[in-house]
Structure 1
Amino acid sequence: MNGRRNGRNGKFCLWAVALLALLGSALLPWSTASGAPEADKPTVTLSASQAGKGGSVTVKGEGWRPDALLMMLICGQSTPGKGVVGGTNSCANAEGRAVTTGEDGTFRKKLPVAEPPEPCPCVVHVATVTGEKARADIAFKVAGHPVKPLPAQAGGGRLSVLSDTRLEGSSGLLTWFGAPPRRTLVFTVGNVGSTPLKDPLFQVGTSHGVFAPQWEERQWRGAVAPGKKARIELPVELSAGAHGDYLVSLKFGGKVLAEQPWGVGRPWGVTVFWLLLCLVVPAAVFRLGMAVVDRLRPRRRRASGRHRTGRLAELGGRVPKLRLLRLSRGAVTADEKARAARDTRTRPPGGADAHGPGPAERTTALPWFTPDTDPGAPAGRLSAPSDNSPTKGNT
């Protein structure tokens, strides 16, 4: 009986060992997988832990997103564990450097050492500019720069964003012509502290591209009890004519709570206005020039008009005589020449010839009558046909 019990106990131990081995092999991949995200977290290393103003330090990075654009800054009043407390306003932005990661997610870049606007402790802050947000901080000492302890965290109520922030509102017609774009930042916060918060003071910042955000204080009227939540709306406004990709940041108690991208369209109304102005101004100048030219030309026009009127009057006096001479169809005698010359001398200037033929000359002479024998001519001007007339001998 004892032998059978020992055999059963041995088999049980073997099964227990096998089961433990199976469980160990099954749990090993899970432990490796759980540590994978830590291995893929972006990291930064420096060639030196301190340097003075005017020097440089080589920054190396691993585990970043391939082909990502990064910004490197030296920031004050910051520690690797708490990040940049005062935001990028605590960093030496003018001496920052941009770098693009390689296909393997690594980079190597020299960063000039500059004194940040805030005292140390300082860090080298590396963060992505576009795309998915990622950042890494590493402690760095700026030789000769003052050092002050970090500000103590205020006790009492603490706020935490419970839902995704969003921008509500739309652009109007005036925004299309360059008016400042306006939106409302809407988010829900919860008080995770032990005391209520009354009239909390937030900071709303707007940044464009790689520039640091411009912070403005926005106070919300109300109270948030411990363990309670509240929906908060804060106005956001950009400068006139702003367009492009902006980033709206929310800060409370020196800590950035949320960020929201904002794409602002170009104010095409301003462009249309300038195009119309470039067309209207030359047209107005052209019309003004033509008006000046018209004011300078009237005298010359009137003088040329009087000259043409005199020439037409002179030609008008000659046309009836030439027409009557053609209708005579015969040679003109010396008496007729003398009479025509006498009539021309005695005709007043501006008389009937100036305005057209007189009443006696309006009657058309027949081709076989001379001007002196026209039946419609006055009685004093009738005369016998000439001997040289072509009608003599034919009647």
Structure 2
Amino acid sequence: MSGKLRIPALAMVLALLLLPLAGSADAADRPSVKLSTSQAGTGGSITVTGGGWRERALLMILICGQAVPSRGVVGGTNSCANADGRAVTTDGKGRFSRKLPVAEPPVPCPCVVHVATVTGAQAQADAIFQVAGHAVEPLPTEPAGGRLSVLTDTRLDGSSGLLTWFGAPPSRTLDLTVGNVGTSAVKDPVFQVGTAHGVFAPQWEEQQWRGTLQPGGKARIKLPVELGAGAHGDYTVSLKYGGKVLAEQHWDVGRPWGVTLFWILVCLVVPAALFRAGMAVVDRVRPRRAGGIRHRGLRLPELPLRLPGSKTSGASGPKARGVFGPKARGASGPKAPERPPPSASALPWFTPDAGPGTAGRLSAPHDDSPTSPTTPTTKGPT
């Protein structure tokens, strides 16, 4: 019996010993911010360090007024010295260190050094800081009555279509569940939906939700979100109610590659069309050549048809036979009557000298033929 009691007692002691270690581990995983000094005047600078952030995360460091770590920044980034903020990227272990110039925020203190992620999952942390010489006023009291709070994770529903690929405005639906943690009902609440590109401040747009939330009740809210035409890159969608940011969601918008493809085709087609039009104009205005080959409507010169053995003018006449003609041998006699060359349209084998009754005669007998009756006999000296 005593042995059975010792086992639960030992387990309880181990649990009590491990509980502080687990709490310290959870605290180490949470984002934290530390300052080199808690007070400084305008024109000076402080060193801001932190740990427990995501690896290689881009952070924005700002000095904000009307804020305490328990309530956050009441007016959002509008209560911060945005012009004097600094950006920093965490290392592989989620730590960072950055110098920050001291500047007066646009609203009175109490002030904090506000550190928040720019892209990706939202995370933030604050450290109390006092700007020397800056006015200090109490925080505005929270209005009595209904107060909304986000109960579930925020998500963006929807997808991009073919028109978005060609530059149409991307659109999504902001889906979340809110609850009324106040003491009175909230009827037809008006939310502010903001979209911010990169590190720029969000642009807010009011949207009203129709319905009533009783104290302790909850409701699922869907609000449309739309960007401008051709928008692409990293965007952050924020939801604000009653001057307080309730939720933020990251949105990675793809590049409209259809627009890029369109301009590439324009750069290829337009020069080709201009080249074709220029060539057509050149072909119209340049002078025509007489005969020969033309650019349009190929026209070949007319060539007479000649066959071997047919009597034609030119190289086959008596003048082309050189020393073998009768003039070369000194003979004299009447010349054979010259016949006109056959026309180009008549076939050469149907000439008047080559009829059906004179088969085998393709041409008239030559003057130098030995059997020709008109050829005179040349006698030598006796």
CA contact (8 A) 1:245 1:263 kept: yes
CA contact (8 A) 1:72 1:98 kept: yes
How far is 1:231 from its partner? 2.2
Structure 1 residue runs without a partner (length 5+)? 1-15, 345-351, 373-382, 390-395
CA contact (8 A) 2:121 2:250 kept: no
Counterpart position of 1:3 = none
Instruction: Output the CA distance in 2 between the equivalents of 1:323 and 1:204.
Output: 101
Structure 2 residue runs without a partner (length 5+)? 355-360
CA contact (8 A) 2:108 2:136 kept: yes
How far is 1:96 from its partner? 2.1
TM-score (norm. length: structure 1): 0.72
SS at match of 1:320: coil
- Match status 1:109 vs 2:98: yes
How far is 1:165 from its partner? 2.5
Q: Give deviations 1:162-212, integer Å, cap 9, x for gaps.
A: 333222222222111001101111222222222111110111122333333
SS at match of 1:271: helix
Summarize the Cα distance change of 1:253–1:320 in structure 2 as closer, same or farther, 3 Å threshold.
Answer: same
CA contact (8 A) 2:122 2:248 kept: no
Counterpart position of 1:251 = 240
List aligned pairs for 1:12-91, cutoff 5 A.
25-26=13-14, 28-33=16-21, 35-36=23-24, 37-38=26-27, 40-65=29-54, 67-91=56-80
SS at match of 1:212: coil
User: In structure 2, what residue type is equivalent to 1:285?
Assistant: L
Worse-superposed segment, 20-29 or 75-84 = 20-29
Counterpart position of 1:10 = none
Instruction: Output the CA distance in 2 between the equivalents of 1:33 and 1:129.
Output: 31
How far is 1:241 from its partner? 1.2
User: In structure 2, what residue type is equivalent to 1:275?
Assistant: I
How far is 1:127 from its partner? 2.1
- Match status 1:211 vs 2:210: no
Q: Give deviations 1:125-169, integer Å, cap 9, x for gaps.
A: 112344554322122233455555433311111112233322222
Instruction: Output the CA distance in 2 between the equivalents of 1:120 and 1:195.
Output: 31
CA contact (8 A) 2:119 2:234 kept: no
Higher relative helix content: 1
SS at match of 2:16: helix
User: In structure 2, what residue type is equivalent to 1:336?
Assistant: K
CA contact (8 A) 2:304 2:344 kept: no
Instruction: Output the CA distance in 1 between the equivalents of 2:218 and 2:281.
Output: 75
TM-score (norm. length: structure 2): 0.75
CA contact (8 A) 1:313 1:353 kept: no
Worse-superposed segment, 356-365 or 278-287 = 356-365
Summarize the Cα distance change of 1:24–1:175 in structure 2 as closer, same or farther, 3 Å threshold.
Answer: closer
Instruction: Output the CA distance in 2 between the equivalents of 1:33 and 1:131.
Output: 29
- Match status 1:369 vs 2:364: yes
Q: Give deviations 1:14-61, integer Å, cap 9, x for gaps.
A: xx9x99996873453254145323455433222333334443211122
Instruction: Output the CA distance in 2 between the equivalents of 1:287 and 1:19.
Output: 95
CA contact (8 A) 1:127 1:133 kept: yes
Instruction: Output the CA distance in 2 between the equivalents of 1:243 and 1:280.
Output: 27
How far is 1:290 from its partner? 0.6
CA contact (8 A) 1:313 1:354 kept: no
- Match status 1:134 vs 2:133: no
How far is 1:358 from its partner? 11
CA contact (8 A) 1:77 1:90 kept: yes
User: In structure 1, what residue type is equivalent to 2:317?
Assistant: L
Counterpart position of 1:321 = 313
Counterpart position of 2:335 = 336
CA contact (8 A) 2:179 2:213 kept: yes
Summarize the Cα distance change of 1:385–1:322 in structure 2 as closer, same or farther, 3 Å threshold.
Answer: farther
Summarize the Cα distance change of 1:233–1:360 in structure 2 as closer, same or farther, 3 Å threshold.
Answer: closer
CA contact (8 A) 1:159 1:193 kept: yes
Worse-superposed segment, 130-139 or 254-263 = 130-139
Counterpart position of 2:285 = 296
Summarize the Cα distance change of 1:152–1:275 in structure 2 as closer, same or farther, 3 Å threshold.
Answer: same
CA contact (8 A) 2:305 2:344 kept: no
Counterpart position of 1:96 = 85
Counterpart position of 1:13 = none
Q: Give deviations 1:197-256, integer Å, cap 9, x for gaps.
A: 111011112233333332221111222222322222111011211223322221111222
User: In structure 2, what residue type is equivalent to 1:99?
Assistant: V
Summarize the Cα distance change of 1:39–1:289 in structure 2 as closer, same or farther, 3 Å threshold.
Answer: closer
List aligned pairs for 1:169-180, cutoff 5 A.
169-180=158-169
Q: Give deviations 1:263-311, integer Å, cap 9, x for gaps.
A: 32221211210111111011112101211210122x33247689xx9x9
SS at match of 2:99: strand
CA contact (8 A) 1:246 1:262 kept: yes
CA contact (8 A) 1:72 1:127 kept: yes
SS at match of 1:301: coil
User: In structure 2, what residue type is equivalent to 1:55?
Assistant: G
State the percentage of identical aligned residues. Answer: 60
Match of 1:269 among 228, 249, 258: 258
Counterpart position of 1:236 = 225
Worse-superposed segment, 40-49 or 81-90 = 40-49
Instruction: Output the CA distance in 1 between the equivalents of 2:54 and 2:219.
Output: 36
Summarize the Cα distance change of 1:220–1:388 in structure 2 as closer, same or farther, 3 Å threshold.
Answer: farther
Instruction: Output the CA distance in 2 between the equivalents of 1:173 and 1:81.
Output: 46
Instruction: Output the CA distance in 2 between the equivalents of 1:334 and 1:145.
Output: 139
Q: Give deviations 1:318-337, integer Å, cap 9, x for gaps.
A: x9323773699964767538
SS at match of 1:266: coil
SS at match of 1:211: coil
Match of 1:385 among 365, 374, 377: 374
Counterpart position of 2:358 = none
SS at match of 2:113: strand
SS at match of 2:63: strand
